[in-house]
Amino acid sequence: MTLALLGGVFLLLLMLRVPIAVAIGFAAFAALLLELPPTTSAATLAQRVAVSGFSFTLIAIPLFILAGKLMASGGVARRLIDFARVAVGSWPGGLAVTNVLANMMFGSVSGSAAAAASGIGGFMIPAMAKENYPRPYAAALTATAATTGLLIPPSNVMLVYAVVAGGVSISALFVAGYVPGLMLGLALMALAALTSARHGHGERLPFAGWRALLSATAGVLPSAVLLVIVMGGIVSGLFTATESSAVAVVYSAVLALAVYREIGWRDLPRLLAETAATTGMVFLLIGTSVCLAWIFAYADVPGLIVGAFGVLVEHPWLLLLAINLVLLVVGTFMDITPALLIFTPIFLPLALLVAPEMGLTPEQMKYHFGIVLVFNLCLGLVTPPAGTTLFIAAGIARVSLASMLRPMLPIMAISIGVLLLVSFVPALTLALPRALGLLD
């Protein structure tokens, strides 16, 4: 009864276009009312929301958001596009391939798929349209390519998973995302080149020459150094992920204000206000989602799920496939942060059960499953009705979601193909952390 009421209220509010954080909060409150008096229910909800942010690791989220906004406003996107255009613009489908590479780089620097979709898409979608690329195709490619930055660290959503899963080294988790993120990006680049060659989209740009490549590299190098500092510091143990986010803010501020000089001191209040608004939205999602996860634990939903999927425990690959399918569906109507908070406690115990049958230790499975979980929910960002990057790209391109369906199909097909490959070959996520001594 509790789960039926919770699900009914949540779906009703989503259909009424209520913001998802509010929908989760009201659904959780409705479920609590079945078990507790109204005042106690309200107090429990408030208490759970309040304590959800009491984590040192989560301090990194607003700091990485601020660093991303400084980079986005500081001219980084334009320089990344210039570099990508010189580096891969001479390939077949030069502008489409440039779009993917620029999204990969900017997403990894900013740690935000939405920032990549808006920052890179704002430049690349109009440029692709001028070169006779269909606007729906340009929007679909941008929306998907923007999600690669959530797999290539640093990544805020990986921080959320680490907090929920518990006992997870953030440095090892970050490093585990490199190969899957690069695989997805390269697959999209290959598809973009093949699609452009087949349909005659755009023109193949001439190679600008080594001098132009060196000049573009020099322009983007200060931005790339940020990744080296952040990831190098985390992997070497010089500082924690939270401390690295503070380093990222300082470096981004120096880069934007003193090196690139694309913004001035008068822009900082606006950027801080935008960071505060985004942080408030993220932490409201975290708070209400943590409360919902607590209700699920109270109702023994993990136990019910284990019972429902119990028949597949003896067939770990089928179980992993079933979990992938469920998560792909979940991603279509739920944002990535609440989905991580709600479904990690539900599906992680199942994954740990089958770890030995897959030749993994429970510790290794935590990292592998974390990347698979994030990968699944990244694809949810490009599927309606909750597709964040999908709506951003469609808005920039000024096209309808319906017009993006056809060009999105092959893009989603190859993305899901890479997801299944990563899911069923754990070495793709675990080899690099092992090689660096971050994981046994």
String of DSSP letters for 402-430: HHHHHHHHHHHHHHHHHHHHHHH-THHHH
pLDDT in tens, 164-192: 888 888 889 999 999 999 999 999 999 99
CA separation, residue 114 to residues 94, 287, 305 (Å): 23, 21, 32
pLDDT at 386: 67
Give the rounded distance of the alpha carbon of 297 from its chain centre: 26
Residue 307: how many other CB atoms lie within 10 Å: 10
Per-residue confidence band for 428, with pLDDT thresholds at 50, 70 and 90: very high
pLDDT of residue 12: 86
Q: Residue 328 burial (CB < 10 Å; 0-12/13-18/19+)?
A: middle
Mean pLDDT along residues 97-114:
81
The percentage of the chain sitting over the pLDDT mark of 90, rounded to a whole number, equals 17
- Kindly tell me the burial class for residue 10, based on how many C-beta atoms sit within 10 Å of its own C-beta (0-12, 13-18, 19 or more): buried
* 3-state DSSP assignment of residue 301: helix
Residue spans of the domains in the chain: they are 1-51+281-298, 56-263+301-435
DSSP string of 88-127, one letter each residue: HTTSTTHHHHHHHHHHHHHHHHH--HHHHHHHHHHHHHHH
- Encoded amino acid at 44, one letter: T
C-alpha to C-alpha distance for 46 and 279, rounded to whole angstroms: 18
110 has pLDDT over 90: no
Q: Which distant-in-sequence residues (6+ apart) come within 8 Å of 253 by Cβ?
A: 70
Of 124, 121, 127, nearest in space to 143 by CA: 121
Q: Inform me whether the pLDDT recorded for 380 exceeds 80.
A: yes
Single-letter amino acid code for the residue at 377: L
Residue scoring higher pLDDT (192 or 386)? 192
- Write down the pTM of the prediction: 0.85
C-alpha 347, offset from chain centre: 19
